[in-house]
Amino acid sequence: MIVRPRLSWLRMLFVIRGSVLPKIWPQLAFITVVATLVTMIHGDILGWRVGLTFVPFTSIGVALAIFLGFRNTASYERYWEARKLWGTMLNASRSLTRQYIAWIDASHGASTFVYRLIGFVHALRHQLRGTDATSELATLLEAPLLSSLLTARSRPALILQSLGKTVAEASARHVLHPQIAAVMEQSLMDLTEVLGGCERIANTPIPFAYSVIIHRTVSIYCLLLPFGLLGNAGVLTPLMVTFVAYTFLALDALNEELEDPFGALPNDLPLAALSTGIEITLRELLGEKDLPEATQAEDFILL
């Protein structure tokens, strides 16, 4: 994800990175070339003048904008829900760490418990992005637990199970009061809901038919638009068509990025920075001074 300070309106016009323009420029260039050719031949194709007016394009454009708006809302809801889930994970991890340190003596494994929490965060990030978490987990988890995770499909779930067993064992030894154990169990349930919510977003994309319909409609609309604008816009037709095409194509491309908020595209969530931030917070609660470097969100590049 790209996080940048607020830019002036002039500089905002020339921002390239994060604007989805690098993704859509081939389609945009093709539509511009078509619009230029239509303008040069004055709308005549093999001696037949395509007699289109701007009236049908107005109606179709409004409907297309509404449809794009609906998909944009659906995609952003997925993005924002994912961000809230990671915020919930931060709060639940802090609560569990604080509760364990406050109510269970450090000799019963505060560092081991907290490192498992950190391992859960990194394991979830790697699972959502389809990458391997073994190298990071090897520095956080004890050998028996790490060995059991090597062949596991859902490593975060197994780490949560080990955390739950630790709380249950502390309660059985009367080290932890049952009421406090119940509170910690609720925090573990919050982490379970975070895991399930993230998996639901990652494994249930917006129906493919929406993408197909929008892609086809936008493409046909932009390719036919020069014939409708030529009579009124004249030589400015390519410019107007390019502007309209950029609007529709950019919205469509942005929706595709937001639909999967756990990816590594410029407008996706900065999971690496979020994971490292949680790790730093939990290590500070342990009283550690040698903390990992905070992962910065991607810098920005202006044209």
> Residue 301's pLDDT is what?
35
Distances from the Cα of 90 to the Cαs of 31, 106, 238, 253, 300, in angstroms? 46, 22, 50, 30, 26
pTM confidence score: 0.84
Mean pLDDT for each consecutive 10-residue tract of the chain (303 residues)?
Answer: 59 68 89 89 63 73 83 90 96 94 74 93 94 91 90 92 92 87 94 96 87 86 85 84 90 86 87 92 89 61 34
> Residue 109's pLDDT is what?
66
Contacts 24+ apart (CB under 8 A), 55-62: 56/228, 57/221, 57/224, 57/225, 57/228, 57/229, 60/217, 60/221, 61/221, 61/244
The whole-angstrom separation of Cα 98 and Cα 170 is 15
111: three-class secondary structure by DSSP: helix
> Residue 8's pLDDT is what?
62
Residue 164 Cα to chain centre, angstroms:
29
> Residue 14's pLDDT is what?
65
- What is the tens place of the pLDDT at every residue in 242-295? 998 998 898 888 888 888 899 888 788 999 999 999 999 999 998 888 888 776
